Amino acid sequence: MEHPRRIGKYEIEEYLGGGMSRVYRARDTLIGRTVAVKILTDEATADPEAKARFLREAQLAGSLSHENVMSVYDFGEADGRPFMVTEFLRGEDLKHALKANRFHTMEDKLRAALQIAKALEYIHQQGIIHRDIKPENVHLSVNGTIKLMDFGIAKTRDLTLTRAGYTMGTPYYMAPEQVMGRDVTHLADIYAFGIMLYEMCVGSKPIQADTVEQLFYAILHTPLDVSPVRQAGAPEAICALVERCAAKDPAQRPQSFAEVREVL
């Protein structure tokens, strides 16, 4: 797949990277706005399910409007390849921000966590389950604003585009019910948020494993030790929140991000 010079009214300026889709910095030639253009690769376009999931992501994200959710401006097809146009985010994802120690105090970390919780509370109110909450899907802008990204495997109340029997999600942040291949509810996002909040507070993941089998066993059977969160200086209420969010039993977790937000 060659890099295009133009997609519709969008003039391509720089290739930014990608996998199943390629992402470019571009300029909207009608209004002069800098945007990001995400184009599905030829290989992915040839896969009906991958193409349907890409377009569904654009439709889902395009229907959302929240200060902590990345905005989708446009989507369509050009020369048979689906594309999506989003706001151009300056900054870095949360994974790199944590590695670079961008958050200097516990207050900074909790302020960022609160923005993530607000974004997830909002999408749940719209009937959307993200299902892939992880630092790579959270963007930290240069002014400290958090943006939730990537709705590629999101699920609505009435539609899912997952292959039967295929578990979606990133292993370290998968809830026990996801590991078991069971029906996933919004409580899986709350579990993933708890794991990510631990990582934000401590600077490392709560589970260390050499194989996927060891990782899944720990997710299913090993209780989360929150003492490192306490040692990192988090308030006791935050330690309790992490423990509750990461509970093995979904019924033991906070039942909504409204509860999570109130604690934060």
> Does the active-site annotation cover 79?
no
DSSP 181-222: TPPP-THHHHHHHHHHHHHHHHSS-S---SSHHHHHHHHHHS
Measured CA to CA, the distance from residue 28 to residue 262 in angstroms comes to: 40
Residue at 159: amino acid letter: L
Contact criterion met (CB below 8 Å) for 125 and 71: no
Distance CA 184, CA 18 (A): 27
Return the amino acid letter for 263: V
List the one residue out of 97, 78, 92 whose CA is nearest residue 37: 78
Handedness of CA 113, 154, 216, 248 (dihedral sign): positive
What are the backbone dihedrals phi and psi of residue 146, each rounded to the nearest 5 degrees, phi first? -95, 140
Q: Which residues of 136-157 are buried (b: 16+ CB within 10 A; e: fewer)?
A: ebbbbeeeeebbbbbbbbbbbe
118 alpha-carbon distance from chain centroid: 13
CA distance 54 to 36: 15
Q: Which of 93, 132, 150, 189 is an active site residue? A: 132
What tokens appear for 153 in the block? Answer: 């495997």
Q: Which positions are annotated as active-site residues?
A: 132
